[in-house]
Structure 1
Amino acid sequence: MPSKKSARLAALTVAAACSAASTVALGAPAQADTVAVHDIQGTTRISPYAGKAVTGVAGIVTGVRAYGSSKGFWIQDPNPDADPATSEGVFVFTGSAPKAAVGDSVTVTGTVSEFVPGGTSSGNQSVTEITKPTVTVLSGGNAVPTATVVDAGSVPAAYAPAGDAAAGNSINALALRPDSYALDYYESLEGMSVRVADTRVVTATDPYSELWVTVKPRENSTRRGGALYGSYASQNTGRLQIQSLGATADFPVANVGDTLDGVTEGPLDYNQFGGYTLVAGRLGTLKSGGLERETTRKQKKGELAVATYNVENLDPSDTTFEAHASAIVNNLKSPDIVSLEEIQDDNGAKDDGTVTAGATMSKLIDAIVAAGGPTYDWRSIDPVDDQDGGQPGGNIRQVFLFNPERVSFTDRAGGDSTTAVGVAKVHGKARLTASPGRVAPGDDAWKASRKPLAGEFVFRGRTVFVIANHLNSKGGDQGLTSQYQPVVRSSEIQRHAQATLVNAFVKSILDVQKNADVVALGDMNDFEFSGTAKILEGDGELWSAIKSLPKSERYTYDYQGNQQVLDQILVSPSIRRSCDLAYDSVHINSEFHDQISDHDPQVLRFEP
């Protein structure tokens, strides 16, 4: 899976933007007609003037964006109409650094456009803009219209209306109902100056100087200050992205649970990376919530500790080895077995045919020893070059990291990148035909995706089958603020096929040995309530152990204001029945601005 950061950079590189020239004229305004901003915005998501020329649109400049590919400014009509569905603000796209200033009273002549951030294939909503503008400045230093307060009382509890089936479930043509649906409410404020106050941070500041807050502090709140994404029907309507019109150096560096005290205010925009965004001309003051990284307990002598950890495209050139080693030793307490996801080959993204990962693993193991941990051993299977997805040239794969002082690995020849591992019956017990081996690597379900790695371990005389997974990413799915409701999760098709194969392989082990201890773990790229999880669990062959935690602690990842499960450890019935089963989602990354991975590791302890 390509890193979210690299995918974001790529999208920024190719993002389309309207091309327009802007001129600023001083003096008498052009002849104005009766079209006002609220006429342009209309009562649906698409302007009734889309594609048409408008003249003399009046407003006060409320914000200026002089950076990025979408340069321009926002105007707002100080004389609103009485319809809450019609926005009084609109973005004027100039294409070059605008010469307007906040407080200018202007009229704008140009063409109304509906710009879709990320392109129409993204499914995103559009932003109503005036393009190719001629701007007349009437006066400067005017008071800007009072910002609309967005708070827990103003945002509806329902998230979005159902789309028009005749239009492919698009909500574009539906009349806005800002008193009924959160997405309609935000759309009715598109381009207007809005204000939030004393908001809690629910996604930490990212490398692009943006964070997420909630205006509903009690909505699905987690123990550590985030907002839980607990089901498809339980949306966090109060979450809002915050960017700044100021210098990125001045942007708050926040963790989950921090607050932006006081007022944060600016135009409400809509962008490719999260939808509705408050682009602040005024930012609240950051107040730390004191969040600290978690530490799990050490496993007991008779407990087997099994973990999964996505280390985000780790290769020898990275500077995070010491930090990952410290996390494994100090925060995870040196688990007996660790499934590592996103281990890259020995020269990272250099695409020269290299597929081995010995240098990557040696550097990690040495760092663990230096951090005071055990001398781990490891097993993996090199992928076929450029066949397993992820960063081009990186050849990411899953790796078994294990402590040979506590657990032994059963090496059985025959496993390679293209040969499918099977299950044999020997003396009444299940045995893998190869260890390590790959699960159905030739199946189309694994095209351009990581193949599961299966291996046999022995702990205190008991065999434990472990299957390390990194299923198809959610890339390509429509965002939650899409114009299509309900959204289309197209990536599920391949992931469901993969989950079917993993479940079938587990079932083949249990068909031979009903009481076999089987652990299927890794970055499943899907939620514990998802269809993917249901397929993995099957008819009781597996059970996602994160469901043993209280709901407020069920998350491994934080994305766009939603704390959610992507990483899971699923276990067979014999392990689920263990009276001492203990699961821990160890929050060391996802909630922090200085994360070394975007995933939190998971640890399961049990007595085989």
Structure 2
Amino acid sequence: MHAKSRVPAILVAAGVLVGSIAALPLPSVAAAPGTVVISQVYGGGGNSGAPFSNDYVELFNRSGAPVSLDGWSVQYTSAGGTGNFAANKTNLSGTLAPGQYHLVQLAAGSTPSGALPQPDSVGSINMSGTAGKVALVRSADGLACNGSSAPCSDAQLELLADLVGYGGANFFEGSPAPALTNTTGAFRKTSGCADTDDNGADFETAHPAPRNSSNAAAPCGGDPSPTATPTVTPTPTPTVTPTESCDTPPTHQISQVQGRGETSPVEGQNVRIEGIVTGSFQGSGRLGGFYLQALRPDADPATSEGLFVYSSTPVKTGDRLLVSGKTIEYNGLTEISPATAVNVCGTGAIKPTEVKLPLKNGVSFERYESMLVTFDTDLAVSEIYNLARYGEINLAEGSRLWQPTDRKGVNTDKDARRTILLDDGSNAQNPPTLPHHTKGSNTVRIGDKVEDLTGVLTYGFGVYRIQPTEPVVFTAENSRPARPAKVGGDVQVAGLNTLNWFTTLGSRGATTAAERDRQLAKLVANITTLNPAVAGLMEVERNNDVALNALVDALNAKSGAGTYKAITHPNPGTDLIQTALIYQPGKVTPIGPARSSSDPIFNRPPLVQAFGKADGTGKTFTVLVNHFKSKGCTDIDGPASGDDADQGDGQSCYNAKRVKQAKAAMALIDNLQLKNTLVLGDINAYGEEDPIHAFEDAGLTSLSKKYIKKDDRYSYVFDGLSGELDHVLADKGARKLVTGATIWHVNADEGRFMDYNTEYNPPYLYAPDPFRSSDHDPLLVGLKL
């Protein structure tokens, strides 16, 4: 298809001609056929009855010449929505030979089924299984249009190499392709060669059958490329390729194929190599091949002795093979793909290479790529965010990783050299059971450890990882604490983030009544075990105290009528969530009205309440509950800019705003003449960041820094790094009342798969207990009044 000739056809199909004339009949428009086109579309991946776990788009070169996809992208938007193509984009690279297919793997659904063939590109676009719009764009920039409510300009249309609107799409070529189902995909007719610039005429539905670059090329008849003067290439004289066997010698050593750098010096060339299988990951849902390692290493420590071979030819660990195929770089991994010959020629054994962490300066894992390795040190779990989703665990030598802005002495360079990701040897998503767990437990907690981890070191999705070849046994170095540590005193005060406790379904919290009940059960278990006289809450739905009162009712159903009461916020703000306070009237009594701040720096204003003991004896104290601006780089006013933009200092966006909020909170203490004040809440700042320093410079004391051991001082884990986002700080008067403080690690060390959600979470892991009742750990402080 020639881009310019497609413009009027697309404009008419979208009902947006120059001059704003709409709803005209569709005329017959002649358009030159395209070179690279979309040859298959499937959006039902991972849905009920789907044959594959992932959506995909297949591309095809219908021309007679190679076409580079570098700088191109696949983009998607819904059939009739207002979103733009730019919101769903997957970049492409590589060169497509004449008649060659290119498979783009996209998002997975919630029901695992079959794995796609080895994809040539990978993205995260989540397409509709019935109707949508897919664009092949000769640019890596997202198109800020959708062809309907946001018409595409001439310049944007010029970038379209192909467009497929299917089902009820309102943007298409000629007429839309048929609607799809979970078991049907849209196929461009004649194996991808048909292109009349009419989706309805060019596409038919059939059972999904994705093809990738390993499939045999299927050149179209003639030369459909839109060149002014066709180039005729003489047909070479056919040659007969002899059958390869164990007598066919290798052409290269594995180390020669790997080379000293990140890419192979023989990329794109056909090679024949010899080695021992160190790990076979073949079969449905696995990696689609095996790892091969040289019998005898070369003398250069910078060259790897292993390779991944993409092949379905059955092999087993210990087989000695001679393998032929093309060398490629697939998402950063050097591999043979596809293998054109796999000859089993005996057996052998490879001793794992010992790898010491942290790696030495200037050394990377590249020298061990695709080799069998073992780590001769304890590795601690640093993050389990994707354990249930992709089977991944972040590990670090010795101990967990810390946020560098949470404490002094964090060596980020060394931390990068002491980490490795543990995978599960599979491409399956959302498996029914966790692929890894700690001995004696059905899950893994951050801080647990593994010894002598052995597997093949490989690379994928931007990170080096271990595919284990032996059972992985974690030991519980961070056992679940059944109760918080004792903090003393005659009154205890807690601060906890409720992870969006909403009674309104489908908003920020639960999406179903069952999820809401599961969430409430966990929150009740958390609070009743903490048993605080006063609890400051964050992320409670702002809905006239409906959510707050529902929580109090559930607490009283568990603890006895009247055990808890709520404080009504006098100024809950403009956000969907608010700060809140609950208390036990049998232990404390509110003194005076609840107060707040009218400073516009807060869209979640703080809540202030003074308390005294219920029996009227002892001193009084004040609680000031906060929830500062998050580290995300968008706000109600738009993207962060100026001082609020990310300054590259590790404090992320809106640090300046959080500092202003800290100063406004201190001004509130002065203006209201508050006494014996505890400033608590989700400050969204780690321990050595500017907002905490602003509090400390104003005379407040961090109780976690004062009372909690350094290795226990954390409440949140993000991107594999632990730190304290949640704080309790005391003024001079309150400091004299404090008897102790603790952080109860029931949430941050637990996987998200343990929470109340039913999507993706294996049902057997849920329990109505405190663990993973939120993503933040609660804090508890003792006061002697």
Structure of greater relative contact order (alpha carbons < 8 Å, 6+ residues apart): 1
Give 1:306 shift. 3.5
Contact 1:110-1:131 within 8 A present in 2 as well: yes
Matched, 1:529 2:688: yes
Alignment of 1:193-212 (within 5 A): 193-196=372-375, 199=378, 201-203=380-382, 206-208=387-389, 210=391, 212=393
Indicate how the Cα distance of structure 1 residues 155 and 396 shifts in structure 2: closer, same or farther if over 3 A, else same: same
Give 1:533 shift. 3.7
Q: Structure 1 residue aligned with 2:371, among 174, 189, 192? A: 192
Indicate how the Cα distance of structure 1 residues 396 and 519 shifts in structure 2: closer, same or farther if over 3 A, else same: same
Q: Distance in 1 between matches of 2:648 and 2:243?
A: 50
Q: Distance in 1 between matches of 2:246 and 2:459?
A: 30
Q: Deviations over 1:321-357 (max 9, x none)?
A: 2222122111x2234022233x4x5xxxxxxxxx737
Q: Could you say which residue in structure 1 is the equivalent of 2:522?
A: 323
Q: Distance in 1 between matches of 2:662 and 2:725?
A: 16
Amino acid aligned to 2:470:
R
Q: Could you say which residue in structure 1 is the equivalent of 2:555?
A: 368
Amino acid aligned to 2:272:
G
Q: Deviations over 1:469-514 (max 9, x none)?
A: 15424699xxxxxxxxxx9968834231232221221242355467
Indicate how the Cα distance of structure 1 residues 202 and 338 shifts in structure 2: closer, same or farther if over 3 A, else same: same
Alignment of 1:388-407 (within 5 A): 395-405=576-586, 406-407=588-589
Alignment of 1:146-545 (within 5 A): 146-150=351-355, 154-156=356-358, 179-180=360-361, 184-196=363-375, 199=378, 201-203=380-382, 206-208=387-389, 210=391, 212=393, 216-217=397-398, 219=399, 231-233=409-411, 235-236=414-415, 237-245=417-425, 249=433, 251-254=435-438, 255-256=444-445, 258-260=448-450, 264-272=453-461, 275-288=463-476, 291-296=479-484, 303=491, 305-311=493-499, 314-315=509-510, 317-318=514-515, 319-330=518-529, 332-341=530-539, 343=540, 345=541, 356=543, 358-372=545-559, 374-379=563-568, 395-405=576-586, 406-408=588-590, 432=596, 440-441=601-602, 451-460=603-612, 462=620, 464=622, 466-473=624-631, 492-512=651-671, 516-531=675-690, 533-534=692-693, 536-537=694-695, 539-540=697-698, 542-545=700-703
Q: Distance in 2 between matches of 1:132 and 1:204?
A: 32
Q: Distance in 1 between matches of 2:395 and 2:700?
A: 35
Q: Distance in 1 between matches of 2:313 and 2:695?
A: 56
Q: Could you say which residue in structure 1 is the equivalent of 2:54?
A: none
Q: Distance in 1 between matches of 2:435 and 2:377?
A: 16
Indicate how the Cα distance of structure 1 residues 135 and 402 shifts in structure 2: closer, same or farther if over 3 A, else same: farther
Q: Distance in 2 between matches of 1:495 and 1:588?
A: 28
Give 1:586 shift. 0.8
Cα RMSD between the aligned structures?
4.5
Question: Does the residue aligned with 1:521 lie in a helix, a strand or coil?
Answer: strand
Indicate how the Cα distance of structure 1 residues 107 and 410 shifts in structure 2: closer, same or farther if over 3 A, else same: farther
Give the unaligned 5+ runs of structure 2.
1-87, 91-104, 109-117, 122-211, 217-241, 439-443, 502-508, 613-618, 635-645, 755-770
Contact 1:212-1:239 within 8 A present in 2 as well: no
Q: Deviations over 1:418-477 (max 9, x none)?
A: xxxxxxxxxxxxx7455xxx7524xxxxxxxxx43311201128562514215424699x
Q: Could you say which residue in structure 1 is the equivalent of 2:743?
A: 585
Indicate how the Cα distance of structure 1 residues 253 and 475 shifts in structure 2: closer, same or farther if over 3 A, else same: farther
Percent identity at matched positions? Answer: 17
Give 1:606 shift. 3.7
Q: Distance in 2 between matches of 1:605 and 1:599?
A: 20
Contact 2:354-2:373 within 8 A present in 1 as well: yes
Q: Distance in 2 between matches of 1:32 and 1:397?
A: 71
Q: Deviations over 1:283-311 (max 9, x none)?
A: 13455558232423677675451322343
Question: Does the residue aligned with 1:326 lie in a helix, a strand or coil?
Answer: helix
Contact 2:659-2:690 within 8 A present in 1 as well: no
Contact 2:700-2:732 within 8 A present in 1 as well: no
Q: Deviations over 1:178-210 (max 9, x none)?
A: 5335xx343322221122468465357632364
Q: Distance in 2 between matches of 1:98 and 1:335?
A: 66
Question: Does the residue aligned with 1:73 lie in a helix, a strand or coil?
Answer: strand
Q: Could you say which residue in structure 2 is the equivalent of 1:160?
A: none
Aligned residues: 489
Contact 1:546-1:569 within 8 A present in 2 as well: yes
Indicate how the Cα distance of structure 1 residues 457 and 215 shifts in structure 2: closer, same or farther if over 3 A, else same: closer
Contact 1:546-1:568 within 8 A present in 2 as well: no
Q: Structure 2 residue aligned with 1:18, among 93, 117, 120? A: 120
Q: Structure 2 residue aligned with 1:109, among 325, 337, 354? A: 325
Q: Distance in 2 between matches of 1:284 and 1:83?
A: 31
Q: Distance in 2 between matches of 1:35 and 1:310?
A: 59
Amino acid aligned to 2:343:
L
Question: Does the residue aligned with 2:374 lie in a helix, a strand or coil?
Answer: strand
Q: Could you say which residue in structure 1 is the equivalent of 2:308?
A: 91
Q: Deviations over 1:112-166 (max 9, x none)?
A: 3262xxxxxxxxxxx323364234212166335222223xxx223xxxxxxxxxx
Give 1:42 shift. 3.5
Q: Distance in 2 between matches of 1:356 and 1:559?
A: 29
Indicate how the Cα distance of structure 1 residues 357 and 98 shifts in structure 2: closer, same or farther if over 3 A, else same: farther
Q: Distance in 2 between matches of 1:514 and 1:378?
A: 20
Indicate how the Cα distance of structure 1 residues 510 and 334 shifts in structure 2: closer, same or farther if over 3 A, else same: closer
Taking structure 1 as the reference length, what is the TM-score of the superposition?
A: 0.66
Q: Distance in 1 between matches of 2:691 and 2:267?
A: 43
Q: Structure 2 residue aligned with 1:47, among 256, 263, 278? A: 263
Indicate how the Cα distance of structure 1 residues 475 and 433 shifts in structure 2: closer, same or farther if over 3 A, else same: closer
Indicate how the Cα distance of structure 1 residues 606 and 266 shifts in structure 2: closer, same or farther if over 3 A, else same: same
Indicate how the Cα distance of structure 1 residues 542 and 276 shifts in structure 2: closer, same or farther if over 3 A, else same: farther
Contact 1:62-1:193 within 8 A present in 2 as well: yes
Q: Could you say which residue in structure 2 is the equivalent of 1:161?
A: none
Taking structure 2 as the reference length, what is the TM-score of the superposition?
A: 0.53
Q: Distance in 2 between matches of 1:320 and 1:590?
A: 16
Amino acid aligned to 1:452:
R
